[in-house]
Amino acid sequence: MTGEADRKELARLAVDMLHRTMVHHIFWFKEVEHQMGFEKALEIMGTAYERSLGIQLNRLGKLLGFELSDGIPEPLLNLPQEKLEKLIEGLAVNWLAGDGVWFQTVESRHGMLEAKRCNDSCWAWFSPFEAWSVKRLLNLPEQSGIEGLKKALQLRMYAKINVQTIIDESPNSILFQMNDCRVQAARKKKGMDDYPCKSAGMVEYTNFARAIDSRIKTECIGCPPDAHPEEWFCAWRFYIE
């Protein structure tokens, strides 16, 4: 093989090793969850993630020639705000694309019913995990109430690629609307019906809100296949009794 071919194979191996590292991280979490429960697994992962991230970024910094500032790679900190926002949007789009690829792959091999079943179950895990991640970023207390939920909803992955509105109904109640959904808007452009996402939404939003504050209740105002007005695709009420 030529030197260029060798480099290409090594580069391909490096990318694959990053993927293996991520999957290994997931398997560790799932096994700890299986042995000790979800809450304990999150607690352990919080410590392991911080330690592991520091080790990995320091090593990559030495290999690739970048410094860290408060644990953050300086090349990221040196990006203009507009580019950093574009990067965050791109990461969110990639996350959604990966979700879609998984759904379509299961659907193509085992049908829509199995894909929806896997999708809904996946949200049962991802939604409370995302809430846990956002709570750490915002340093929210265990019972941060409706105000805490309002802040958390704005740091979800979806919030970076969809258009959403939060309407205050009372000190203990808000109405959340998904005004423009990237997935549903794409289907609409193709002349397709809305994707019936209500079963996933019930799992997703209920678990996210409960993980932010266990007192918060979730009510579906409307979500496909429900009929909905032009100004939103789905709407949810979050409240504390």
Each residue's pLDDT tens digit, 73-86: 999 999 999 999 99
d(CA 81, CA 85): 6
pLDDT tens for 182-218 read 999 999 999 999 999 999 999 999 999 999 999 999 9
Look over the chain and give the mean of its residue pLDDT values, rounded to a whole number. 95
pLDDT number for residue 204: 96
| Residue 118 tokens, joined | 């896997």
pLDDT number for residue 169: 97
pLDDT tens for 112-164 read 999 999 999 999 999 999 999 999 999 999 999 999 999 999 999 999 999 99
Say what angle helices 145-153 and 112-138 make with each other, to 10 degrees: 110
Helix intervals (H) in the chain:
3-36, 38-64, 74-77, 81-110, 112-138, 145-153, 182-189, 198-212
Say what angle helices 112-138 and 38-64 make with each other, to 10 degrees: 70
pLDDT number for residue 122: 96
Give the pLDDT mean for 225-234. 96
pLDDT number for residue 106: 97
188's enclosing H/E stretch is helix 182-189
Give the pLDDT mean for 167-189. 95
List own/partner pairs for 223-230 with CB under 8 A and 24 or more apart. 223/197, 223/198, 224/184, 224/194, 224/195, 224/196, 224/197, 224/198, 225/194, 225/196, 225/198, 226/198, 228/194
For residue 166, which of 205, 137, 127, 204 has the smallest C-alpha distance? 205
Question: What are the two backbone dihedrals, phi and then psi, of residue 180, each rounded to the nearest 5 degrees?
Answer: -135, 115
Q: How confident is the model at residue 4 (pLDDT cuts 50, 70, 90)?
A: confident
Tokens 């829509």 — which residue?
112
Residue 1 has pLDDT above 60, yes or no: no
Which DSSP symbol is given to 157? T
Q: How confident is the model at residue 5 (pLDDT cuts 50, 70, 90)?
A: confident
CB 79 within 8 A of CB 65: no
Residue 2 has pLDDT above 70, yes or no: no
d(CA 107, CA 113): 8
CB 149 within 8 A of CB 212: yes
For residue 152, which of 201, 211, 197 has the smallest C-alpha distance? 211
Give the pLDDT mean for 18-46. 96
pLDDT number for residue 109: 97
The 10 Å Cβ neighbour count of residue 94 is: 11
d(CA 196, CA 224): 5
157 residue type, one letter: M
The dihedral built from the CA positions of residue 177, 199, 33 and 145, taken in this order, carries a sign that is: positive
pLDDT number for residue 132: 97
